[in-house]
Amino acid sequence: MFLHARHSNPERGGSGMNLILTLAVLGSMIFAGVEIMPAYFANYQLQDAMETEARFALSRYPKETTDDIRGDIWRRVQDLGVPAKEDDIHVSANQGICEISLDYSVPVDLRVYQFTLDFHPHADNKSI
């Protein structure tokens, strides 16, 4: 009567393997996010600082020079830990229009995969 109850189930233990696989994938995604998100967050903050600087740089008294604007952005770059050089900051201030741009790259090492994130923040006061 109970002979059929003793047969082993071939799917037994599969849920444990699924749990381990799910935790490994979830852990990998969290690790990648922790490694990548700071670069995007710093770029967002830098973009905001550049937009603010471009908007108000030429309306301050006394009017700021391009070197003053570059210096303000450079200080923000250093505060954020952005891997850029001061020479990479391009500032143009002509006829009431201020444009600021910067190109930089952030290397990301995920232990098994390395890549580079390229950022190109740009700001101007043309929309005012």
> For residue 15, what pLDDT band results from cuts at 50, 70 and 90?
confident
Is residue 61 over pLDDT 80? no
Whether 104 and 119 have beta carbons less than 8 Å apart is answered as: yes
**Inter-axis angle of helices 14-56 and 66-80, to 10 degrees?**
160
DSSP state of 102: E
Mean predicted lDDT score pLDDT of the chain? 88
Is residue 63 over pLDDT 80? no
What is the reported pLDDT for 62?
Answer: 74
Q: How far apart are CA 80 and CA 56, in angstroms?
A: 21
Helix (H) or strand (E) segment spanning residue 72: helix 66-80
Average pLDDT over residues 100-109: 96
